[in-house]
Amino acid sequence: MTNNNKTKIQFRLPVSIFKEGRHFIAHSPALDLSTSGRSYDEVKRRFNELVEIFFQELIKKGTLEEVLKNLGWKKIHRKWQPPLLIAQEYVSISPRTLEKV
């Protein structure tokens, strides 16, 4: 017996991977998810697992559409599209001196 109630989701997702000390951090603002690993390959694997679990839980709870809409996703021709990443850049910040209040 096969389960025909499966939902297939496929998309390209912007993911940033940072190195903090001896660990790697993967973060995607499109899902507001992050995870860490001890190597680049481990953090990629763990992030993929995290995304899979995230979507499984949304589908199980019946909140997929609500959560994706709240994260800025759009449904176009019955396919979900994450928010478009326009740029990722370094910005120089020079905070003004703050006075004690």
Q: What is the DSSP string of 35-57?
A: EEESSHHHHHHHHHHHHHHHHHH
d(CA 39, CA 1): 40
* pTM reported for the whole predicted model: 0.78
State the total domains in the chain. Answer: 1
Q: Give the pLDDT of residue 10.
A: 75
Q: Give the pLDDT of residue 3.
A: 47
| Average pLDDT score over the chain | 88
Contact assessment for residue 27 and residue 34, using Cβ atoms and an 8 Å cutoff: yes
Contact assessment for residue 35 and residue 43, using Cβ atoms and an 8 Å cutoff: yes
CATH number at residue 65: 3.30.160
Per-residue pLDDT averaged across 34-51, rounded? 97
Residue 80: phi and psi, rounded to 5, are -80, 135
* 89 part of a folded domain: no
Tokens coding 94: 């020079």
Q: Is the pLDDT of residue 85 over 90?
A: no
Q: Is the pLDDT of residue 66 over 80?
A: yes
* 98 part of a folded domain: no
* 62 part of a folded domain: yes
